[in-house]
């Protein structure tokens, strides 16, 4: 099937109490591992490309490949811009066939975030493109390179979240409830009472960023309270680096075959994605 937007995908997940995985693509090996695992498990899939990764991922090269892969798949697949912070990047993603965008104005003053996000909604909705936004500040740096810890003073305020959703018309909202990008310092502590309140007030699918490092139990609890999309990258990156290190150590002093290295990395990423799909409860939901 063709690429789809993520609105109905997320609505079904929100109502069905499961979450769709949004897995970040940084190269062809990651793309193949994520895609093949989703197809094998009949899971709906969001292929995510973050603005912070654009120096490493050429959209004009990889997007035609993604569109072709989606045509051959029997599961719904959305192509999503992750943490877009400029209208220029949103435009570039639209020109390359993205069916979903996240505009991240969370660092802007509240009213500016509303205005900028609403302008993105007005641009994307007539094109049938889903819009996600963020309110509050998810800890850490997008890209997952450093350890991070959430700051409770920057968590999403439920009343402000409702006002934000009402005034912008976004399709999904990324919340800050104790989650962080990258590797957590210590055990993450999610504010489930806050999440429940946001879900009750806003009435739209909610998004959890910084999925790597959160326990399966906490994921499942968050899903029951309105999380319908979970972003996941750092865990895949760690799996890839561990596999690469193990391969190089095992073959030290011998001929190094690059395709075998990539095969080991791809296998490790696929195993990590399969584990998350099972936890998120979305296996079989793409039939």
Give residue limits of the domains in the chain: 7-280
- Burial zone of 256 (CB within 10 Å; 0-12 exposed, 13-18 middle, 19+ buried): exposed
Q: Are 5 and 128 in contact (CB under 8 A)?
A: yes
Q: Distance between CA 251 and CA 257 in Å, rounded?
A: 9
Q: Which long-range contacts (CB under 8 A, 24 or more apart) does 83-87 make?
A: 83/50, 83/51, 83/52, 83/142, 84/51, 85/51, 86/51, 87/119, 87/120, 87/123
Residue with tokens 């590797």: 183
- Burial zone of 155 (CB within 10 Å; 0-12 exposed, 13-18 middle, 19+ buried): buried
Going residue by residue through the chain (287 aa), what tens digit of pLDDT does each one get?
789 999 999 999 999 999 999 999 999 999 999 999 999 999 999 999 999 999 999 999 999 999 999 999 999 999 999 999 999 999 999 999 999 999 999 999 999 999 999 999 999 999 999 999 999 877 655 555 444 455 677 899 999 999 999 999 999 999 999 887 555 555 778 999 999 999 999 999 999 998 777 899 999 999 999 999 999 999 999 999 999 999 988 887 676 788 999 999 999 999 999 999 999 999 999 98
Q: For this structure, is 82 an active site residue?
A: yes
**Residue 278: what are its φ and ψ, rounded to 5°?**
-65, -45
- CATH for 7-280 is 3.20.20.70
- The catalytic position among 68, 82, 166, 171 is 82
What's residue 63's pLDDT? 98
Count the alpha carbons within 13 Å of 126 in the hemisphere toward its beta carbon.
5
Which residue, 106, 226, 113, 128, is CA-closest to 168? 113
Q: Distance between CA 165 and CA 113 in Å, rounded?
A: 11
What's residue 203's pLDDT? 98
Q: Are 90 and 101 in contact (CB under 8 A)?
A: yes
Which residue, 214, 224, 157, 154, is CA-closest to 190? 214
What's residue 146's pLDDT? 43
């Amino acid at each position: 099937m063709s690429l789809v937007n993520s609105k109905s995908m997320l609505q079904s997940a929100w109502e069905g109490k499961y979450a769709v995985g949004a897995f970040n693509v940084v190269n062809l090996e990651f793309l193949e591992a994520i895609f093949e695992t989703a197809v094998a498990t009949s899971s709906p899939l969001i292929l995510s490309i973050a603005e912070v990764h654009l120096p490493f991922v050429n959209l004009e090269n990889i997007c035609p490949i993604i569109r072709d892969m989606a045509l051959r798949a029997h599961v719904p697949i959305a192509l999503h811009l992750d943490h877009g912070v400029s209208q220029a990047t949103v435009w570039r993603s639209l020109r390359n066939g993205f069916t979903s965008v996240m505009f991240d104005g969370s660092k802007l003053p509240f009213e500016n975030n509303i205005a900028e996000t609403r302008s993105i909604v007005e641009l994307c909705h007539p094109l049938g493109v889903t819009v996600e936004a963020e309110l509050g500040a998810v800890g850490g740096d997008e890209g997952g390179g450093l350890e991070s810890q959430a700051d409770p003073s920057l968590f999403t305020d439920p009343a402000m979240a409702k006002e934000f959703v009402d005034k912008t018309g976004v399709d999904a909202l990324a919340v800050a409830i104790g989650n962080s990008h990258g590797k957590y310092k210590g055990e993450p502590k999610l504010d489930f009472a806050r999440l429940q309140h946001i879900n009750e007030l806003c009435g739209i699918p909610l998004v959890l960023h910084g999925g790597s490092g959160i326990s399966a139990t906490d994921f499942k609890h968050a899903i029951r309270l309105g999380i319908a999309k979970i972003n996941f990258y750092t865990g895949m990156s760690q799996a890839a680096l561990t596999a690469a290190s193990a391969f190089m150590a095992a073959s030290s002093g011998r001929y190094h075959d690059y395709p075998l290295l990539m095969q080991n990395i791809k296998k490790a990423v696929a195993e990590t994605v399969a584990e998350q799909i099972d936890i998120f409860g979305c296996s079989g939901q793409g039939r």
